[in-house]
């Protein structure tokens, strides 16, 4: 990293930036730049030299041209909710915040499409679509602060992915500015496209290293009017695998199958003033079923409930009231904040394994944590084989913490890999997982990725230092 030499942002550059985006679109005050010096990755901070907030694609194009010509690193930023350091400007330079490009440009009912600027907050889009009885199913837990542009750059998912998939299933078109300042428009309001969609696919999940997304066309679907949530407390973890298998075997695909361990629930209960009722237990499943007809949803959740009870669940609580459902999901979405509040230093894992191996993996995780006397909040998208293991520092000494977590993380990653899993299910690689990428991605593939990066960004000015060196 210390070999890279980038140009610095001087007064002349700042004036050029102001000329492009206007005075009010440029921040140089270090107090005001603080929020742009980190995302939500604990302990990771690096100040930009300047923050710019463009309002149009043309401004973005001019900014990228300038950064490219001058050799100044530029880090695009959505909502800053990432937890892998993807938006942290580790080489300083320019942070390009998309916060002012936050308009829903179109809700096209006849094509079941919406066209948005990248800075639109996911939750705002959800609420707006609801007015048209439409649904964009991708719901990261940070949905009230993460942006659609960030979701695309990260190829994010959420709890609805069991039934509805992730961002990749909905992105149909992208307008993107390349480091050269050229603009490409790939895809469109098209559910099928064998003409130019390769570019859409490649940009998805590229974590702002290949181009800056300036417009997104998303497919939307009818909003399912009925949904029911089940809270399933269990004293043991082992029956979970059988429950999921039997539910799927009955041809029921729940919207969500979330998991929380007792530590996660305890910490989140203490954090929130107003928690939903969750009985004392060791493990919890939170299962949601949705559909267009009440009879059908009722049948599904009753079947699921019976399976859970037959397989040893302690109880099945049915949550049908939308207020109570809101409270329950608010709880789920607050977990991360609660854990951070409990232990500002923590290490987040976002491991994914084949769904059928998730409970086996969870036991592995518990063994590793026990071996190193580490405590953790474990929760996440069990139905996708994707769990979040947040190892909590608590009062562990700094030096010991460093040593044991680095060993533990590598053991967890290797355990997942041996089960056919990967080191990131949805949070991306960013900066934090970069050292571990060679565990799972071969040198041949890494070389391809590096060369593709060079094709898009020969001067390595766009979000440098992320994913790989």
229-288: which residues touch its own copies (CB under 8 A)?
245, 248-249, 251, 253
Residues 161, 229, 123, 97, Cα dihedral to 10°? -50
d(CA 246, CA 287): 14
Member of 385, 415, 464, 465 binding its own copies (CB under 8 A): 385
Member of 2, 3, 31, 110 binding its own copies (CB under 8 A): 110
Residue 89 or residue 383: which is nearer to its own copies going by CB?
A: 383
Residue 284 pairs in a beta bridge with 233, 260
CB of 188 to its own copies, least distance (A): 5
Residue 72 or residue 382: which is nearer to its own copies going by CB?
A: 382
CB of 92 to its own copies, least distance (A): 26
Q: What angle do CA 305, 309, 315 make, to 5 degrees?
A: 85
221-257: b (≥16 Cβ within 10 Å) or e: eebbeebbbbbbbbeebebbbebbebbbeeebebbbb
Asked whether position 194 contacts its own copies by CB under 8 A, the answer is: yes
Residue 189 or residue 393: which is nearer to its own copies going by CB?
A: 189
Asked whether position 226 contacts its own copies by CB under 8 A, the answer is: no
Asked whether position 188 contacts its own copies by CB under 8 A, the answer is: yes
CB of 211 to its own copies, least distance (A): 9
Residue 48 or residue 179: which is nearer to its own copies going by CB?
A: 179
d(CA 358, CA 11): 54
CB of 51 to its own copies, least distance (A): 26
Residue 92 or residue 254: which is nearer to its own copies going by CB?
A: 254
Residue 193 or residue 262: which is nearer to its own copies going by CB?
A: 193
Number of amino acids touching its own copies (CB under 8 A): 88
Asked whether position 427 contacts its own copies by CB under 8 A, the answer is: yes
The tokens of 458 are what?
């020969």
d(CA 467, CA 185): 25
Residue 11 or residue 444: which is nearer to its own copies going by CB?
A: 444
Asked whether position 293 contacts its own copies by CB under 8 A, the answer is: yes
Q: Which of residues 50-109 bind its own copies (CB under 8 A)?
A: 108-109
Output the CA–CA distances (angstroms, integers) from residue 336 to 275, 358, 460, in the order listed: 15, 21, 33
Residue 274 or residue 443: which is nearer to its own copies going by CB?
A: 443
Q: Which of residues 341-380 bind its own copies (CB under 8 A)?
A: 350, 352-357
Asked whether position 407 contacts its own copies by CB under 8 A, the answer is: no
Q: In what side-by-side order are the strands of the sheet with 212-219?
A: 104-108, 113-116, 212-219, 171-177, 183-187
Residue 44 pairs in a beta bridge with none
Stretch of 19-27, 45-53, 255-263, 435-443 contacting its own copies, by CB under 8 A:
435-443
Q: What is the DSSP letter of 224?
A: P
Member of 221, 341, 344, 400 binding its own copies (CB under 8 A): 221
Member of 81, 139, 343, 424 binding its own copies (CB under 8 A): 424
Going residue by residue from 148 to 187, which x/- string records binding to its own copies, judged by CB under 8 A? ------xx-x---xx--xx-xx--------x-x-xxxxx-
Burial of 399: CB neighbours in 10 Å, binned 0-12, 13-18, 19+: exposed
Residue 372 or residue 456: which is nearer to its own copies going by CB?
A: 456
Stretch of 201-209, 230-238, 271-279, 393-401 contacting its own copies, by CB under 8 A:
201-209
Q: Which of residues 24-53 bind its own copies (CB under 8 A)?
A: none
CB count within 10 Å of CB 369 equals 18
Provide CB contacts within 8 A for 301, sequence distance 6+: 228, 230, 287, 289, 318
E strand map for 344-404: 346-349, 375-381, 386-392
Residue 21 or residue 177: which is nearer to its own copies going by CB?
A: 177
Give me the residue label for tokens 């609805």. Answer: 160
Greatest pairwise CA separation for the chain in angstroms: 71
Member of 145, 201, 238, 334 binding its own copies (CB under 8 A): 201
Member of 44, 63, 146, 204 binding its own copies (CB under 8 A): 204
Q: What is the DSSP letter of 36?
A: G
Burial of 71: CB neighbours in 10 Å, binned 0-12, 13-18, 19+: middle
Asked whether position 191 contacts its own copies by CB under 8 A, the answer is: yes
């Amino acid at each position: 990293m210390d070999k890279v030499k980038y140009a610095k942002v001087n007064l002349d550059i700042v004036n050029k930036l102001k000329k492009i985006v206007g005075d009010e679109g440029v921040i140089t005050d270090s107090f005001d730049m603080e929020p742009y010096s980190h995302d939500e990755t604990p302990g990771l901070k690096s100040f930009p030299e300047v923050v710019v907030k463009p309002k149009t694609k043309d401004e973005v194009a001019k900014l990228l041209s300038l950064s490219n010509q001058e050799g100044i690193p530029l880090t695009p930023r959505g909502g800053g909710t990432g937890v892998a350091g993807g938006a942290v400007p580790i080489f300083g330079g320019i942070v390009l915040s998309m916060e002012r490009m936050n308009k829903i440009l179109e809700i096209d009912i006849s094509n079941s499409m919406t066209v948005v600027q990248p800075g639109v907050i996911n939750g705002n889009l959800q609420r707006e679509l609801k007015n048209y009885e439409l649904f964009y199913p991708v719901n990261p837990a940070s949905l009230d602060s993460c942006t659609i542009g960030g979701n695309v750059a990260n190829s994010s998912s959420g709890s609805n992915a069991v039934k509805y998939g992730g961002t990749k299933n909905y992105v149909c078109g992208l307008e993107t500015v390349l480091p050269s300042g050229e603009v490409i428009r790939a895809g469109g309001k098209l559910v099928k496209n064998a003409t130019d969609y390769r570019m859409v696919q490649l940009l998805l999940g590229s974590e702002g290293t290949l181009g800056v997304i300036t417009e997104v066309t998303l497919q939307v679907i009818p909003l399912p009017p009925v949904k029911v949530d089940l809270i399933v407390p269990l004293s043991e973890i082992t029956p979970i695998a059988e429950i999921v298998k039997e539910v799927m075997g009955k041809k029921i695909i729940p919207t969500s199958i979330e998991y929380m361990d007792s530590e996660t629930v305890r910490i989140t209960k203490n954090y929130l003033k107003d928690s939903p009722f969750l009985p004392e237990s060791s493990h919890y499943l939170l299962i949601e079923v949705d559909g267009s007809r009440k009879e059908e949803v009722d049948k599904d959740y009753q079947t699921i409930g019976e399976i859970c009870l037959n397989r040893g669940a302690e109880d099945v609580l049915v949550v049908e009231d939308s207020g109570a459902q809101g409270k329950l999901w608010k709880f789920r979405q607050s977990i991360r904040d609660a854990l951070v509040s409990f232990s500002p230093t923590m290490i987040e894992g976002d491991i994914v394994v084949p769904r059928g191996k998730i409970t086996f993996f969870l036991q592995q995780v518990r063994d590793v944590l026990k071996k190193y006397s580490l405590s953790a909040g474990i929760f996440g998208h069990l139905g996708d084989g994707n769990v979040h293991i947040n190892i909590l520092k608590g009062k562990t000494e700094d030096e010991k913490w460093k040593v044991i977590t680095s060993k533990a993380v590598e053991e967890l990653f290797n355990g997942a890999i041996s089960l056919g899993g990967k080191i990131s299910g949805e949070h991306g690689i960013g900066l934090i997982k970069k050292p571990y990428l060679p565990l799972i991605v071969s040198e041949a593939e890494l070389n391809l990725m590096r060369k593709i990066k060079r094709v898009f960004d020969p001067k390595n000015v766009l979000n440098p230092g992320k994913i790989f060196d």
